[in-house]
Every structure is written in structure tokens, then in C-alpha cells.
């Protein structure tokens, strides 16, 4: 059982918030508010990352399917966002709990200055005992500034607030070795300790349904972001309100992803997970070993290919010779100049202090 106050981020997706005839959206949100309010009264600081704006907008318009066009999605979000926040405000208000709406785009976290501002704002709300209700700003976000799914957003919010735990509520009871709907041999996985294991699991994970943009793949990616930052992650069934109560009380439910024993420091968390890479650098085997085993800076002599169009100090992905992402960092030179410098000895391309490795060393 929980013995000390914790800082927690809870994520709930569209598949849960759409509700059912037996449990409509208002009931789902009321149960969420009740559970989170109980945690607040025990002293926990809680932030909620929610989907649902587009779904509510579509329901208001009577649309049978989620739109595919960006403009239609943004318009549906504009209709649904106010409705969604009103539902949360009403549900929390009857319990005496203040909430705050926080809308973010990827660009808000990709800029170091804006990322720090977001961290300070969220921290202040939590210090005031307010529950931030966080959603992607779907009405304004363009394709290149979108998170793409709220699983990723929830992990980045957990990193931003230095959370102890991230709780991902979904419509399955836990992680399985395969899709139990189609694979009779799929076995439940109660605990994941190894980031390399997490990476291997993600290759076989399948996506979500019509109304969501997530699925198990994005939840595993979110778990990687959070655990590498020292945050424990729980994946559990949000259809039963008793499950969230149990998790918030410190019980083991669903699948737990244990945090890394060597979490990334704050700036490297931002480098690894919040940036929007503008290109990539493919490395030879020697450069890969120097980065992964010696913590070296990347030199031009170890670069074999430059992809994308970027300027000095813009973020790039660092790739192994077989295309795996090793890490991310800020390039010291723009892409055009780097293409001329490929293979040259003694020229620094990414300084180790401006680099964060995203692949576990034992997977390299």
C-alpha cells in the first residue's frame, strides 16, 4: 500500500471516454474524478492527461467515423474541447476539487524555453493542489507539431512534472506477449524490468481501434520514455473504476514497467524525448561503439550518411549502420556542411553533453 504522497500522471484514452450504453461518458468522468479526488485527499499530486475532444465533437456532429482530414479533425476538436472540459469541471467541482485546462502542442515541449515554462506552470498547479487536465491542442496543432497520440503526451507530462508514476488506462487488462484476441498462446505479462525487453515487445505490438490513435505500440513507447526517466509505469484496464482506485492505493494491478536504475538527468530527458528531430546521421560501427560504451562525442569521421535538412544546433537522430536509433542530439553543423565533412577526422558533429542515448546499451 502507498505510504507516502506521490506525484502521479493518469492518462485516459478515447476508447474509455466514449463510454457505453451501460456506462456513458458522464459516468466514466465522474468515476475518474472520484478516484483522483480521493488520491488528492491522501496527499498525492495528480495530473490527468485526457483524450476525447475529437470524439465528443464527432458525436455532437453525428459523424459515424473519425475524420481523416486535418481540418476536419481540428474543427471537431474545437467543438468537443469545451464540452470535455465542462464535464471535468462539473465532475470535480461537486467534490470540491479545482481543475485547470492545459493544452499543449509538441512545439511547446520541443523548445527548451517553452518546455521549462510548461514545467513551471504544471509544477505550480500541483503545488496549489489543482488537478491539471492536459490534452493536445488539436484545434491548432499542425502535423509536424502533433504528438500523434496522448500516450506520448502523458509520458512527456510525467517527465515534465518529475512524476513518480504514470498510469495508462486502456481497454485491456494488461500487456500480453501477443494479441489475445487472435493468439491463443498469448501470455499475460505482469512486470517489465528490462528496457531491451520493452523494445523487443514493441516490435510485435498492434494498434488501436477506429476512435483512437494509440494502441499498444504507443503505450510501450510511452513506457520507454517514462521508465528511462526514472518513472514507474502502470498499464491497466480503465473500464472498471475499481482498478484505478487500487492503483492509486498502491496495489499491483495490470502490468508494471519498472523504472531504469540509471535514469537520464533532466536535460538529457528533454534531448531524448521532447525534441523534434529535423534529420538523421547514420554512423559506422566504430562510432556506434564509441557512443554506446565510452560516452564519446560524435565525430565526422564516424558519420557515413546525412539525411534531412537542418541548421546548426537543431536536433537530429543518431542511427546505427542498420538503422536503429541510438540517440538524439543537437548538431554542431547544418546538414549541407555536414555532408561535406563526412569522414573527416577531428571534427565534432554532436558533443556528448548535447546528446542523449535512447537505446539501452545491451541492445546495441
Q: pLDDT at position 324, please?
A: 92
**pLDDT above 70 for 54:** yes
- Provide the grid cell at 266: 533532466
Q: Name the CATH superfamily housing domain 277-363.
A: PUA domain (2.30.130.10)
pLDDT at 94: 97
Query: Residue 182's pLDDT band (boundaries 50, 70, 90)?
Result: confident
The yes-or-no verdict on residue 138 having pLDDT over 80 is no
Which range is least confidently modeled, 80-94, 141-155, 168-182, 262-276?
141-155
pLDDT of 339 over the 90 cut: yes
What ranges do the domains of the chain cover?
Answer: 7-267, 277-363
Residue 147 has a CB neighbour count (10 Å cut-off) of 21
Query: What own/partner pairs with CB < 8 Å and gap ≥ 24 does 152-155 have?
Result: 152/218, 152/221, 152/222, 152/225, 153/11, 153/49, 153/104, 154/9, 154/11, 154/49, 154/222, 155/221, 155/222, 155/223, 155/225, 155/226, 155/231, 155/273
| Residue 3, pLDDT above cutoff 90 | no
Q: Answer whether residue 296 shows pLDDT above 60.
A: yes
Residue 8 pLDDT: 98
Residue predicted with more confidence, 151 or 22: 151
Q: Mean of the per-residue pLDDT values for the chain?
A: 88
Q: Give the percent of the chain with pLDDT over 90.
A: 65
Instruction: Output the pLDDT for position 97.
Output: 97
The answer to whether the beta carbons of residues 246 and 212 sit under 8 Å apart is no
Q: Which position has the grid cell 554532436?
A: 350
pLDDT at 69: 86
The topology under which CATH files domain 7-267 is Carbamate kinase (3.40.1160)
Distance CA 232, CA 261 (A): 11
Question: pLDDT band at residue 45, thresholds of 50, 70 and 90?
Answer: very high
pLDDT at 305 over 70: yes
Specify the pLDDT at position 20: 79
The predicted structure's pLDDT at residue 254: 95
Indicate the range of 31-45, 128-142, 219-233, 256-270 predicted with least confidence.
128-142
Name the band, by pLDDT with cuts 50, 70 and 90, for residue 19: confident
On whether the pTM is more than 0.85, the answer is yes
Q: Are 194 and 202 in contact (CB under 8 A)?
A: no
- The reply to whether 277-363 shares the fold of 7-267 is no
- Residue 78's DSSP bridge partners are none
Q: What's the confidence (pLDDT) of residue 137?
A: 83
- The whole-number average pLDDT for the span 222-251 is 94
pLDDT at 140 over 70: no
Q: Which three cell numbers stand for residue 316?
A: 537530429
Amino acid at each position: 500500500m502507498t505510504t507516502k504522497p506521490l506525484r502521479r500522471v493518469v492518462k485516459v484514452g478515447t476508447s474509455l471516454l466514449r463510454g457505453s450504453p451501460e456506462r456513458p461518458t458522464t459516468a466514466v468522468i465522474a468515476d475518474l474524478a472520484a478516484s483522483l479526488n480521493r488520491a488528492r485527499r491522501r496527499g498525492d499530486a495528480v495530473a490527468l492527461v485526457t483524450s476525447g475532444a475529437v470524439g465528443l465533437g464527432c458525436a455532437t456532429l453525428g459523424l459515424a467515423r473519425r475524420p481523416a482530414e486535418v481540418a476536419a479533425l481540428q474543427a471537431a476538436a474545437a467543438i468537443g474541447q469545451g464540452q470535455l472540459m465542462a464535464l471535468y469541471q462539473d465532475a470535480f467541482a461537486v467534490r470540491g476539487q479545482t481543475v485547470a485546462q492545459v493544452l499543449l502542442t509538441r512545439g511547446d515541449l520541443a523548445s527548451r524555453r517553452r518546455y521549462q515554462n510548461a514545467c513551471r506552470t504544471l509544477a505550480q498547479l500541483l503545488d496549489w493542489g489543482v488537478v491539471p487536465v492536459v490534452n493536445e491542442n488539436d484545434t491548432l496543432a499542425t502535423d509536424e507539431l502533433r504528438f500523434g497520440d496522448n500516450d506520448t503526451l502523458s509520458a512527456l507530462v510525467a517527465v515534465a512534472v518529475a512524476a513518480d508514476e504514470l498510469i495508462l488506462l486502456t481497454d485491456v487488462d494488461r500487456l500480453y506477449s501477443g494479441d489475445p484476441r487472435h493468439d491463443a498462446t498469448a501470455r499475460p505479462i505482469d512486470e517489465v524490468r528490462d528496457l531491451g525487453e520493452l523494445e523487443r515487445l514493441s516490435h510485435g505490438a498492434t494498434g488501436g481501434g477506429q476512435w483512437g490513435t494509440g494502441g499498444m505500440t504507443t503505450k510501450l513507447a510511452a513506457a520507454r520514455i517514462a521508465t528511462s526517466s526514472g518513472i514507474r509505469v502502470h498499464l491497466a484496464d480503465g473500464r472498471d473504476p475499481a482498478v484505478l482506485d487500487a492503483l492509486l492505493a498502491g496495489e499491483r494491478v495490470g502490468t508494471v514497467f519498472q523504472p531504469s536504475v540509471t535514469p537520464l538527468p533532466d536535460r538529457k530527458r528533454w534531448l531524448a524525448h521532447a525534441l523534434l528531430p529535423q534529420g538523421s546521421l547514420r554512423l559506422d560501427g566504430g562510432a556506434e561503439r564509441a557512443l554506446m560504451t565510452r560516452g564519446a562525442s560524435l565525430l565526422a569521421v564516424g558519420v557515413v550518411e546525412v539525411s534531412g535538412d537542418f541548421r546548426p544546433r537543431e536536433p537530429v537522430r543518431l542511427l546505427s549502420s542498420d538503422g536503429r536509433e541510438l540517440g538524439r542530439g543537437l548538431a554542431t553543423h547544418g546538414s549541407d556542411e555536414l555532408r561535406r565533412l563526412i569522414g573527416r577526422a577531428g571534427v565534432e558533429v554532436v558533443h556528448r553533453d548535447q546528446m542523449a542515448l535512447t537505446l539501452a546499451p545491451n541492445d546495441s
